[in-house]
């Protein structure tokens, strides 16, 4: 193969028909000689378009940080042979695209549109102006009622927004509460942001923000493990307001008529109330369950002693006497997480609640509820609701993966409102090895599919498991058989993703399945890598599982499992503590990172698909290392990569195996045509490139799965 590549390159540069024919014959001769010398078992079993894809697994907790859903990058390695079966719920299509050029290449994305929305606010003086907070890309703004969105992130790009607040009298003043970053403020409608953390603890997470409607320089910030803070000067300075409750404030609400009356929802300790601006507090939990967590509180704007409180697991409650006592109002509601509550400002007996299982409406003050999910996928999780203050029949909702949805008829029907809102965090990508226009992208909640090389995307029906999806593995002999590894175990589909069943017999409860690998020759043999538990093996297609060498791998984080595509009894496991290999299907293991520097943290690995003795180790801050002897020795190959670069993904050109691509965290995609000896940047900076794929039919088409959707580019010949 190597000689064939050299001759073909030489031939292209020559002129004359005779020379061309001669060299073509030589190429065929070398190729036939190479193939005839291969072992017969390899020739009979290696797929015609085997593809190795490397994408990131979750970044380990290297420092003390707050545990939040979807708050850290992920990384993963799996051999994948994608299915051709596609049952979309929604077309999720768009005719527009976004481009990025900050290297040698132009990268284009068409989605998937949407993503996770953490908060949503409406400008009260101009209701067509909306702001949404996102998990990884700060704030987006729309000035046309959600039709189009643009990033407003100068100063807060890559910030995980936890809460948003808008000044009711000067709506150009905005506030963001962030994960581990405190509070940010904009005084120009989101164009620029700066931190305002004087008096706040270092690295504090602000889960809730609210503004005094009569004195908008008075702000309140509810924090994780820090309690409640108050500012009386527009956020320039903060003071902690002590109260007799838990320090984790999940939500807060201010009485619109008497703003010195404040209500706080906490983790595990219910609701607290202050009537003097936060100086003193009392618990108001009569009628609420013991150790209840309150995630959202809504106040009736006309009768502010009427309160609504949504819980994590105990439903929705109502008080008509300012929290003196509470009663459950769950008739018609599912047993679900109550995420958001909004009261119609004109007709206050009309209430909306967004849950982990859809959106519901009551027209009788919460006595009974009806689902209003027309136009939405099943089990869509809502994160926030907002009502147009001038036209209350217009509703906006933030969701867990579908971005923003909008209703113009009081919830009678919903439609996506996501143009420009490309914030889907792609954990894992795959490309159909036979039909290179078919792509798969796994996000935190669902699996998307494109049948036209990423121009449009649709959601695989029933791929929403209510669990974060970390990895996929597809049976190459029966590509309609798909396995999904999630933080709730393993799921299997035998009809191309149309339906799924759990495969959790013998699996530990509620553990993240970070990686899956299928034996390409015996597809009933499956391996699963699980954080803190180890490696599990199934010999019956996932019906039951057995632990492999638990004493070696238990209580370790960062499990990545890689299988040799030509010798599937050879396995590799990557942990924070090192690299291990097994030559006998997992019975015995040996460590193979002894020659790596002690301060190098390897968190991912890939194998050369033709010469599997060649391994590439990706590191968190140390570049790339290469081994040519199955890991016995390693050499750094990081020339041209930024110092302390975090390498998240690697792809190998299947036509020219000396050509490699790596995706990094916020420094772009890099290419090497010398097996890693030298690298050049080919663009796509300012994002996490979690996965890289190369088209099997056209190896010059590169796809990148990022924390802002899927991008692609065309690499010109001899680009490096």
3-class secondary structure for 293-332? Answer: CEEEEEECCCCCCCEEEEECCCCEEEECCCCCCCEECCCC
pLDDT at residue 642 greater than cutoff 90? yes
264 and 206 share one domain: yes
522 and 648 share one domain: yes
547 and 592 share one domain: yes
Provide the pLDDT confidence category of residue 100 given band limits of 50, 70 and 90: low
- Phi (first) and psi of residue 654, to 5 degrees: -75, -10
pLDDT at residue 481 greater than cutoff 70? yes
Helices (H), 454-564: 550-553
Provide the pLDDT confidence category of residue 99 given band limits of 50, 70 and 90: low
pLDDT tens digits, one per residue of 226-235: 999 999 999 9
Q: Give me the residue label for tokens 């949404």.
A: 132
446 and 323 share one domain: no
Provide the pLDDT confidence category of residue 101 given band limits of 50, 70 and 90: low
| Distance of alpha carbon 583 from alpha carbon 273, whole angstroms | 63
Report the percentage of the chain scoring pLDDT > 90.
Answer: 58
394 and 268 share one domain: yes
Domain range spanning residue 11? Answer: 2-37
Based on its alpha-carbon atoms, the radius of gyration of the chain, rounded to whole angstroms, reads: 27
pLDDT at residue 1 greater than cutoff 50? no
Between the CA of residue 134 and those of 58, 159, 196, 542, what are the distances in Å? 19, 8, 20, 36
Averaged confidence pLDDT in the chain: 84
358 or 74: whose pLDDT is higher? Answer: 358
N-term to C-term CA, the chain:
21
For residues 208-237, give the mean pLDDT.
96
Q: Residue 567 falls within a domain, yes or no?
A: yes
pLDDT at residue 552 greater than cutoff 80? no
CATH classification at residue 249: 2.130.10.10
507 or 711: whose pLDDT is higher? Answer: 711
For residues 416-431, give the mean pLDDT.
89
Q: Residue 293 falls within a domain, yes or no?
A: yes
528 and 392 share one domain: no
pLDDT tens digits, one per residue of 616-633: 999 988 899 999 999 999
- Three-state secondary structure call for residue 33: helix
Check residue 46 and give its pLDDT: 36
61 and 124 share one domain: no
DSSP state of 603: E
Q: Are 206 and 163 in contact (CB under 8 A)?
A: yes
Provide the pLDDT confidence category of residue 465 given band limits of 50, 70 and 90: confident
| Distance of alpha carbon 458 from alpha carbon 700, whole angstroms | 25
Number of folded domains in the chain? 3
Check residue 92 and give its pLDDT: 44
For residues 344-355, give the mean pLDDT.
97
pLDDT tens digits, one per residue of 242-262: 765 668 999 999 999 999 999
Span of 229-243, 293-307, 401-415, 691-705 with lowest mean pLDDT = 691-705
385 and 528 share one domain: no
Provide the pLDDT confidence category of residue 117 given band limits of 50, 70 and 90: very high
For residues 48-69, give the mean pLDDT.
34
Q: Residue 114 falls within a domain, yes or no?
A: no
For residues 575-583, give the mean pLDDT.
86
Q: Residue 392 falls within a domain, yes or no?
A: yes
Check residue 466 and give its pLDDT: 74
Residues in the chain: 720
94 and 130 share one domain: no
Check residue 461 and give its pLDDT: 67
Check residue 505 and give its pLDDT: 80
64 and 146 share one domain: no
pLDDT at residue 134 greater than cutoff 90? yes
576 and 707 share one domain: yes
Check residue 500 and give its pLDDT: 85
Provide the pLDDT confidence category of residue 35 given band limits of 50, 70 and 90: very low
Span of 165-179, 514-528, 592-606 with lowest mean pLDDT = 592-606
554 and 532 share one domain: yes
Q: In what order do the strands lie in the sheet with 590-591?
A: 560-563, 571-575, 578-582, 590-591
Check residue 49 and give its pLDDT: 31
| Distance of alpha carbon 12 from alpha carbon 69, whole angstroms | 52
| Distance of alpha carbon 98 from alpha carbon 706, whole angstroms | 14
Residue 21 belongs to what H/E stretch? helix 17-36
The most confident of the ranges 403-407, 424-428, 529-533 is 403-407
- Phi (first) and psi of residue 678, to 5 degrees: -140, 150
For residues 281-294, give the mean pLDDT.
95
């Amino acid at each position: 193969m190597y000689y064939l590549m050299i001759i073909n390159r030489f031939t292209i540069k020559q002129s004359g028909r005779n020379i061309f024919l001669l060299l073509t014959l030589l190429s065929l001769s070398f190729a036939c000689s190479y193939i005839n010398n291969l072992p017969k078992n390899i020739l009979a079993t290696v797929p015609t378009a085997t593809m190795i894809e490397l994408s990131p697994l979750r970044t380990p907790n290297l420092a003390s940080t707050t545990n939040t859903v979807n708050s850290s990058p992920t990384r993963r390695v799996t051999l994948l042979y994608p299915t051709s079966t596609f049952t979309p719920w929604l077309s999720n299509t768009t005719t527009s695209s976004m481009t990025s050029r900050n290297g040698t290449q132009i990268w284009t994305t068409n989605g998937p549109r949407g993503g996770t929305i953490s908060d949503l606010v409406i400008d009260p003086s101009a209701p067509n102006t909306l702001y949404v907070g996102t998990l990884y890309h700060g704030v987006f703004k729309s000035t046309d009622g959600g039709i189009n969105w643009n990033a407003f992130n100068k100063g807060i790009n890559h910030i995980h927004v936890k809460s948003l607040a808008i000044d009711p009298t000067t709506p150009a003043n905005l506030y963001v509460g962030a994960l581990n970053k405190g509070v940010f403020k904009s005084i120009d409608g989101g164009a620029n942001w700066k931190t305002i953390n004087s008096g706040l603890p270092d690295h504090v997470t602000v889960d809730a923000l609210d503004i005094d409607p009569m004195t908008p320089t008075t702000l309140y910030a509810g924090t994780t493990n820090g309690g409640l803070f108050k500012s009386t000067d527009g956020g320039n300075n903060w003071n902690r307001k002590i109260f007799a409750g838990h320090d984790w404030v999940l939500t807060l609400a201010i009485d619109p008529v008497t703003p010195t009356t404040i209500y706080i929802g906490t983790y595990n300790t219910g609701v607290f109330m202050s009537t003097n601006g936060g100086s003193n507090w009392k618990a108001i939990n009569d009628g609420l369950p013991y150790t209840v967590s309150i995630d959202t509180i809504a106040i009736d704007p006309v009768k502010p002693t009427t309160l609504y409180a949504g819980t994590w697991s105990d439903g929705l409650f109502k008080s008509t006497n300012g929290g003196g006592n509470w009663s459950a109002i769950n008739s018609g509601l599912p047993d679900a997480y109550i995420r958001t509550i909004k009261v119609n400002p004109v007709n206050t007996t009309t209430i909306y609640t967004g849950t982990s299982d859809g959106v519901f409406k009551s027209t009788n003050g919460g006595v009974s509820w009806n689902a209003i999910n027309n136009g939405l996928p099943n089990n869509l999780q809502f994160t926030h609701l907002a009502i147009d203050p001038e036209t209350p029949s217009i509703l906006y909702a933030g969701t867990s993966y579908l971005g923003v949805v909008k209703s113009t008829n009081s919830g009678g029907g919903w439609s996506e409102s996501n143009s420009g809102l490309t914030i889907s965090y792609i954990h894992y990508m795959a490309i159909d090895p036979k039909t290179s226009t078919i792509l798969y992208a796994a996000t935190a909640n669902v699996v998307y599919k494109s049948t036209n090389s990423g121009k449009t995307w649709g959601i695989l029906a029933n791929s929403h498991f209510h669990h974060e999806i970390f990895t996929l593995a597809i049976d190459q002999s029966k590509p309609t058989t798909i396995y999904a590894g999630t933080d709730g175990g393993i799921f299997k589909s035998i009809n191309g993703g149309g339906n799924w069943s759990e495969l959790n017999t013998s699996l530990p409860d509620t553990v993240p399945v970070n990686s899956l690998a299928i034996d390409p020759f015996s597809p009933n043999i499956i391996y699963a890598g699980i954080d803190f538990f180890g490696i599990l093996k199934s010999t019956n297609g996932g019906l039951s599982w057995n632990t492999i060498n638990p004493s070696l791998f238990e209580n370790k984080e960062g499990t990545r499992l890689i299988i040799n595509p030509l010798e599937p009894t050879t396995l590799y496991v990557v942990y924070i503590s090192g690299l291990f290999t097994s030559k006998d299907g997992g019975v015995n293991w040996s460590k193979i990172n002894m020659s790596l520097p002690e301060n190098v943290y390897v968190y991912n690995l890939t194998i050369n698909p033709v010469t599997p003795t060649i391994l590439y180790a990706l590191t968190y801050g140390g570049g790339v290392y290469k081994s040519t002897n199955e890991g016995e020795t390693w050499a750094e190959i990081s020339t041209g990569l930024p110092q302390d670069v975090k390498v998240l993904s690697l792809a190998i050109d299947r036509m020219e195996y000396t050509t490699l691509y790596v995706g990094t965290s916020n420094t772009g995609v890099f290419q090497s045509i010398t097996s890693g000896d030298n690298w050049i940047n080919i663009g796509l900076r300012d994002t996490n490139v979690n996965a890289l794929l190369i088209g099997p039919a056209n190896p010059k088409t590169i796809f990148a799965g990022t924390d802002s959707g899927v991008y692609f580019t065309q690499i010109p010949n001899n680009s490096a």
